[in-house]
Structure 1
Amino acid sequence: MLAAAWRYRHFIWASIVRDVRARFAGSKLGLVWSILHPLAQAAIYTLILAEVLGARVPGIDDRTAYPVYLMAGLAAWGLFSEILTRSVSIFLDYSNALKKIAFPRISLPLIVCGGAIFNHVLLLLAVGGLFVLLGHPLTIAWAIIPVGIILISAFAIGLGLILGTLNVFERDVAQLVGVVLQLWFWLTPIAYFLESVPAQFLPLMQANPMTPLVQLYQGAMLYGRFPTNAEFAIASAIATLVLIVALFVFRRASADLVDAL
């Protein structure tokens, strides 16, 4: 499957460009909307949690620290949720193309992933500039962010492949994913800190596969530190394992995929 995807790399790249253009066709601001939406969400959370409820980063006496922590977590979560949400319905969205055109089916989640990463990079550039304006300079630890992008994308595309394949045979999967994602967001330390979680719920938060991936972003952007070997090993193992399982499931089900559509 990967060899076939490589042979069709020009088709995948052209499809990514077309997908990005189509999403903002007719819009005067175009790609700017992909930056404004997450920034607006971060601003709302900051206003409610930091200004109204007085949320502060433990151990840091800086009013700008919490917005930085929040935007770092939202950036990581946004990449994950966009790839996962679109991957779940990708085979249904492209059902006509799958029936009429011969191309590797693995190309579709790769196209979704490419478009999401493009939007994510634009957001990171805007966030980096905003951090500088807030008096929070960028550090060398930002160099780990591309690795974080790869790990989050691998985890999201793996999970999306599994659920997207299931969604072809059972259409309620997409609806369930939307509900689960809302709960999953609040089970991930994005708007709060692990230090503030009651002891009885801490194992649940630590078992969350998105926790180490989000903390990789937060550690680099706020604390200016690289992940420890243990943190990096856990994040890498989760992403790799889910992706391998997804490719196995997809390979087994791909023969019946078009018939089910």
Structure 2
Amino acid sequence: MLGMLRGLWQYRSFIGSSIKNEFIARFARSRLGGLWMIIHPLAQVAIYALILSNVLAAKLPGIDNKYAYALYLMAGMLAWNLFSEIVSRCLTIFIENGNLMKKMRFPRIALPVIVVGSCLLNNLLLFVAVLAVFAILGHEPTMQMLWLIPMTLAVVALAVGLGLVLGILNVFLRDIGQVVPIVLQVLFWFTPIVYSVNIIPEGLRGMLIYNPLYPLVVSYQSIMVYGTSPSLQDALFAFTLAFCLMALGLFLFRRAAPEMVDSL
């Protein structure tokens, strides 16, 4: 582990420049540039809000705002977009950079770190946009939003751990890359993002404990929408699971890195 950290520090300039170049290249020749990172998720929120707000707004007790459902939806999407983007990009990061891994000598762990840095930058811009929308809709931020810092770390740890495991498996078994997008769609609808937990029948709510993203999304919604601290039990469970999964991903990465280069 110390070797990984030492290697990342030695190649910090490479990592920083890669994140910067990726951001620039992604929106080259685009008039709106980085605004597209904000427009896409906000457009998705607007579509869901227009279609489902009349159905679900009445089922969001405790929010004194006529745009309650839109606020609830944006909070959940903020957590989901960060998670899904990291997992999706880690899934193919080693395959896409196979030639680079063969030709250049650098710590391979730098690749997922670059992904995380880029995704966090995207998420930060989206967060600023969401805060602006919250202000426009009359929902002021509270000091409880400081809880978003550790919860974001938990989302990143969970996504990196899962992304590394799936990315490594995808190198040796390419069917993984076809299955994961489908699983992510199922996970999205299995997580209370576009609907409230209150509408789930009592007998089925127990199944949510098998969803690792559930406590994180609920924590985001509690912090941003209700202005309350997340459940300490949910937060502890989320942190434990996230960092255990990240430790597993890093362990598998260290063991499989040499074989991955040969397979690529």
Instruction: Note the C-alpha offset of 1:54.
Output: 4.6
- 1:220 aligned partner: 223
Contact 2:82 2:119 in 1 (8 A): yes
Tell me the TM-score normalized by structure 1: 0.97
- 1:30 aligned partner: 33
Q: Deviation string for 1:232-252 (max 9, x for gaps)?
A: 211110111100111111111
- 2:252 aligned partner: 249
- 2:74 aligned partner: 71
Tell me the TM-score normalized by structure 2: 0.95
Contact 2:57 2:68 in 1 (8 A): no
Instruction: Note the C-alpha offset of 1:6.
Output: 2.2
| Structure 1 unaligned residues grouped into runs of 5+ | none
Q: Deviation string for 1:150-200 (max 9, x for gaps)?
A: 111111011100000000001111110000000000000101111221123
Instruction: Note the C-alpha offset of 1:61.
Output: 4.7
**Residues 55-70 of structure 1: pairs in structure 2 closer than 5 A:** 55-56=57-58, 57-70=60-73
- 1:40 aligned partner: 43
Contact 2:56 2:69 in 1 (8 A): no
Paired residue type of 1:231: D
- 1:82 aligned partner: 85
Instruction: Note the C-alpha offset of 1:60.
Output: 3.2
Paired residue type of 2:87: L
- 2:206 aligned partner: 203
Q: Are residue 164 (structure 1) and residue 167 (structure 2) matched?
A: yes
Task: Extract structure 1 runs of 4+ deviating beyond 4 A.
Answer: none
Instruction: Note the C-alpha offset of 1:146.
Output: 1.7
Paired residue type of 1:55: A
- 2:154 aligned partner: 151
- 1:130 aligned partner: 133
Counterparts of 2:9 and 2:202 in 1: how far apart (Å)?
Answer: 47
Answer with 114-123 or 140-149: which moved more: 140-149
How much identity, in percent, do the aligned residues show?
A: 47
Instruction: Note the C-alpha offset of 1:13.
Output: 1.1
Counterparts of 1:61 and 1:147 in 2: how far apart (Å)?
Answer: 27
Counterparts of 2:204 and 2:25 in 1: how far apart (Å)?
Answer: 43
Paired residue type of 2:68: A
- 1:100 aligned partner: 103
Counterparts of 1:207 and 1:178 in 2: how far apart (Å)?
Answer: 19
Instruction: Note the C-alpha offset of 1:85.
Output: 0.2
CA RMSD of aligned residues (A): 1.1
- 2:118 aligned partner: 115
- 2:191 aligned partner: 188
Counterparts of 1:149 and 1:232 in 2: how far apart (Å)?
Answer: 11
Counterparts of 1:150 and 1:101 in 2: how far apart (Å)?
Answer: 30
Instruction: Note the C-alpha offset of 1:59.
Output: 3.6
Counterparts of 1:249 and 1:243 in 2: how far apart (Å)?
Answer: 10
> Aligned to 1:31, what secondary structure does the other structure show?
helix
Counterparts of 1:206 and 1:6 in 2: how far apart (Å)?
Answer: 37
Answer with 75-84 or 192-201: which moved more: 192-201
Paired residue type of 2:36: W
Counterparts of 2:90 and 2:113 in 1: how far apart (Å)?
Answer: 9
Q: Deviation string for 1:66-94 (max 9, x for gaps)?
A: 11110000110000000000000000111
Counterparts of 1:19 and 1:146 in 2: how far apart (Å)?
Answer: 24
| Structure 2 unaligned residues grouped into runs of 5+ | none
Counterparts of 1:59 and 1:21 in 2: how far apart (Å)?
Answer: 42
Paired residue type of 1:124: F
Counterparts of 2:19 and 2:100 in 1: how far apart (Å)?
Answer: 15
Q: Are residue 173 (structure 1) and residue 167 (structure 2) matched?
A: no
